Amino acid sequence: MKFGARRAVAALSVLGLCGCAMHDTIGHAQPAGPVAVFSDDFTGPAGTPPGGPWRFDTGGGGWGNNEVQVYTDDPGNVSLDGAGHLAIVARGDADGSNITSARVTTKGTVEFTSGRAEARIALPAGAGLHPAFWLLGSDVDQVGWPASGEIDVIETLNLADEYHTGVHVPRQGSARGQEISASGPAPFPLAGEFHTYWVEKTPGRIVTGIDDLTLFTVTPADLAPESTWVFDGPVFLLLNVAVGGNWPGPPDLTTPNPSTMLVDWVRVSAL
């Protein structure tokens, strides 16, 4: 899909996932399999903002896990690279201070209830780096976190030699809810190489994976008795590069400056 066409697809994407059905008076069988409802291949001139459905979360300097970056919408932190990628760039001053980065979302534009979201990403690596592709419940502004639920499709820390994937759900008596996750040594290099990270979300079930590998499956049966399954409603997408904080720890003089996450494409399909 070319850059100029993205806005029209994004505008239709929420309607395409509403689950509305057309009556077929002839009685033909409907085709099986996923139906693409949103796609962005980030084609456009270098330095161009991503546009279309993408929105920017700005601010920080203490967000999340006491991270040090401040998120901006500056092209130096988030823009097309001119080679068919979205570049999300964490960068600091020459001495490594005043770190800025970017977090893009489809909140209010592309949201889906049941389907598959996937992104082809080359992740950065270095001390203190924490890139992520994840989802939040669309009601986060109304109910807060973790009541909205969070799905972490992929997160890596520091050298990106391990994968992290999982969910966060609300849990009675806990401000941070319950985390159910999977992690381990990556089966192949993740840093600097493109891989497809995906999540399939259907009623009562979430599955995540890399390329053709399934990494993690969770259902309501996996929750603690005092936790609540909140994943049968709509969610939106987020992509970001966080830096420092409690998890993964601070950057240092070896951390690449700038550090770039490249996103080749993003797709959402109805199942």
**How far apart are alpha carbons 138 and 178 in whole angstroms?**
19
pLDDT of residue 97: 87
Q: Does residue 217 surpass a pLDDT of 60?
A: yes
10 pLDDT exceeds 80?
no
**Does 7 score more than 50 pLDDT?**
no
pLDDT band at 8 (very low <50, low <70, confident <90, very high): very low
DSSP letters for 76-98: TTEEE-SSS-EEEEEB--TTS-S
**Averaged pLDDT for residues 53-74:** 96
Mean predicted confidence (pLDDT) in 170-190:
96
What are the φ/ψ torsions at residue 103 (nearest 5 degrees)? Answer: -135, 120
Q: Is the pLDDT of residue 224 over 50?
A: yes
Domain boundaries, the chain: 3-19+29-270
Topology of 3-19+29-270 in CATH? Jelly Rolls (2.60.120)
Query: pLDDT by residue (tens digit) across 183-212?
Result: 999 889 999 999 999 999 999 999 999 999
Q: What is the mean pLDDT of residues 76-102?
A: 95
Q: Give residue 94's pLDDT.
A: 83
Distances (CA, A) of 182 to 33, 42, 123, 175, 245: 27, 30, 18, 21, 21
**17 has a pLDDT exceeding 70:** no
- Looking at residue 252, what is its pLDDT? 95
AA letter at 165: T
**Cis peptide preceding 75, ω within 30 of 0:** no
The residues carrying an active-site annotation are 150, 155
pLDDT at 29 over 80: no
- Mean pLDDT (the chain) is 89
Q: Cα–Cα distance between 146 and 234 in angstroms, integer?
A: 15
